[in-house]
Chains A and B, each alone.
Chain A
């Protein structure tokens, strides 16, 4: 089945630790996105990528890093510089070039600080 796979579902981070969230898609989508959602809040864009080896900062990129070495993969690293990392992280992908293309989401990763 085609789709987006995020892992792990739950992740715990210790103080000062970097952690990496995985996102893989087999939809052959060009664009991939990372969003953060806090309780009672909408989704805020962290980073997005429209092509391999290129990505742009979203609205809240500080304390995060990404890579796009393969079309299928867009991992997100939450660095120790992100002081408030506890949130629900959602990865998404879409085709580009069509205004009404829908976002396909992964099932999310809940990150908590120990």
Chain B
């Protein structure tokens, strides 16, 4: 099993759609979880951290299920500007960050 595995994508959705990204991780000792967004040929930028109780930031909701070693990101009412690659990131006990391969999202008008 890969350390961090994401939906391969790509996802193509119309504006206003709700889209969900899934991510699983193999190391049960992993301590912190994040979603980053990366635009084409740009550096990744932190979208949100993922908390055990789940957390929401506007149209974005992140969930963590430690028992299933599963993380999700939900985007509601998607906008054209949401088009990007979404990266699942997991931090181990040694502070090392492991990135998933990313899922490309294209929001169409």
Q: Which residues of A line the B interface, CB within 8 A?
A: 31, 33, 35, 40-45, 48, 50, 58, 88, 90, 96, 99-100, 102-103, 105-108, 110
Contact = CB atoms under 8 A, between A and B. Distances in A.
Nearest to B2: A42
Nearest to B104: A40
B62 to A, nearest CB: 13
A44 B101 CA distance: 9
B87 interface: yes
B101 A103 contact: no
If over half of B's interface residues share one DSSP class (helix, strand or loop), that class is named, otherwise mixed; here it is strand
A107 B102 contact: no
Given A41-B101, A43-B87, 5 more contacts: A42-B99, A45-B98, A48-B96, A88-B41, A102-B49
A36 to B, nearest CB: 11
Given A42-B102, A99-B31, A99-B91, A105 B97 contact: no
A2 to B, nearest CB: 15
A83 B70 CA distance: 36
Contacts of B98: 45
B43 A50 contact: no
A108 B42 contact: yes
Counting from the closest, the 4 A-B pairs by CB-CB distance are A105-B43, A42-B101, A43-B99, A42-B99
A50 B99 contact: no
